[in-house]
Copies of this chain bind each other. A is one copy, B any other.
Amino acid sequence: MQTKDIAALARLPLGDQLIAVRRMLHRHAEPGWCEINTATLVARLLAEYGLEVRLGAEVIDGQARMGVPDPAVLETYHAAAIAAGADPQIAGRLRGGYTGVVGILRGSAPGPTLAFRFDLDANMGSESKEAEHPPVRGGFASIHDGVHHNCGHDGHTSIGLGLARRLAAEKDRLRGEIRLIFQPAEEGLRGAAAMVAAGVLKDVDHFFGIHIGVQALKLGEIITGYDDILGSTKLDVEFFGRASHAAISPHLGRNAVAAACQATLAYLAIPRHGDGDTRVNVGLISGGDSRNAIPSRARISLELRSDKKDALAFLEHRAQKITEGIATANEVTFEIRRMGESRPASSDRELSELIGSIAGGIAGVTDIRGHVAFKGSDDAAEMMLAVQEAGGKAVYVGLGSALGAEHHNPRFDFEEAVMPIGVDLLFGAARTLCGPK
């Protein structure tokens, strides 16, 4: 249940608040564009701390969203959030796939504009039910079967709310403007572009993104700025054939499953690229009508990634030709749908050096490492590029933690002690840039 007494939550000792919020979110795990309960809690706490709150269609451009689930799915999560005590009025503004929130804190004097981005969504995937899995042991395992905070966004959001509290307390001594961006649908790279398109990064001078436990698996490690966040394109490919009786007239069928299998293997065999690191995955496949009919339909969820723009374009070009060709070979038709996307990006040295210098003064920080390849994707990259292309600086920071298992694994879990470190680090950066001159 979402707490009714938001004020009490907001007055817990900060460390306790970080844990309490993280566990509430973990328990009520919501997938991308469905984060009604999560975003209402965020909005209420931001308001409680006195930040100006914008949300829903104010911060999400509906046309720029990708991979929005079916309305029925959106409604299911809306209903579950309401049932769990989410504020109906706020929920109403988030409903239908508009689950973004931005908290704005305006300083008392002119100064730079900062943006901190936190992602809200859980991921599809079942959580471990083993007794020793800490969320099970702690009683905050996901209540939504098949949805799991297996990427630490519950921690990211809790850090963002902790940062809001620290900034609010310091408000009078800050210059400029600070935006805390709570983004839906990071998984699948579906949400950032819609917030960029809504203008939430307009005039931002310094952008900060974070992630827990990526290439930094020890509490106390800080990666001051990742490079080579992989660009990625998420495509759904569907083949449409013709069913026929598998024994009487197999020759009259046009086999969509055969096409999907050939395409899958051909996608996986797209050659490496000489000038960029690449990744190809077919994460999901489904197809067919019944055991005894030539299959008329099949669908594939494809994912392409690279650290280089040209190599990513090469992957997409190859995927396009493979799809076309395999369709021809099987005399089926096809449809390719763009379900998510972000481009490769890297951190600016200027900001990563700032992070490094602040990290040195934070209790609990034991290791500070420079530019490290991210090796995964995060559509924070789209926000970084939006800021960088407008002349600002961006950094994407790593917060070390041991993990229960790797990201996206049923046993994923992180050390909650990473959260206060994250708050301190980001608060330190804000104060350095926006504090009194």
Contact = CB atoms under 8 A, between A and B. Distances in A.
Dominant secondary structure of chain A at its interface with chain B: mixed
A251 B264 contact: no
A301 B291 contact: yes
A383 to B, nearest CB: 19
A258 B250 contact: no
A415 to B, nearest CB: 19
B265 A272 contact: no
Question: Which among A187, A262, A271 has the highest number of chain B CB atoms within 10 Å?
Answer: A271
Contact of A125 (B234, B265, B293): B293
Contact of A314 (B245, B251, B265, B305): B251
Q: Report the interface size class on chain A.
A: 35 or more
Q: How many copies does the complex hold?
A: 4
Contacts of A311: 251
Contacts of A111: none
Contacts of A283: 246, 257, 288-295
Interface stretch (A10-18, A56-64, A404-412): A404-412
Interface in A309-348: 311, 314, 318, 321-331, 339
A390 interface: no
Given A247-B377, A268-B258, A329-B266, A288 B293 contact: no
A251 B260 CA distance: 23
A127 interface: no
Interface string A168-201: 0000000000000000000110000000000000
A291 to B, nearest CB: 4
Nearest to A293: B408
A87 to B, nearest CB: 30
Interface stretch (A78-86, A136-144, A273-281, A351-359): A273-281
Nearest to A409: B243
Interface in A220-254: 230, 232, 234, 243-253
A187 B314 CA distance: 29
Given A124-B289, A232-B247, A248-B407, 16 more contacts: A188-B291, A247-B376, A248-B375, A257-B264, A257-B283, A258-B265, A258-B268, A268-B268, A272-B277, A272-B280, A274-B375, A283-B292, A284-B289, A284-B290, A285-B295, A326-B326
A243 B24 CA distance: 27
19 contacts: A187-B292, A243-B408, A247-B281, A249-B406, A255-B268, A258-B282, A265-B269, A269-B269, A271-B294, A272-B280, A274-B375, A277-B277, A281-B292, A283-B293, A284-B287, A286-B286, A292-B303, A321-B328, A325-B328
A298 interface: yes
Contacts of A368: none
Interface string A371-393: 00001110000000000000000
Contacts of A298: 285
A244 to B, nearest CB: 7
Contacts of A376: 245, 247-248
B328 A247 contact: no
Interface string A119-137: 0000111000000000000
Contacts of A318: 331
Given A261-B261, A290-B125, A279 B246 contact: yes
Contacts of A377: 247
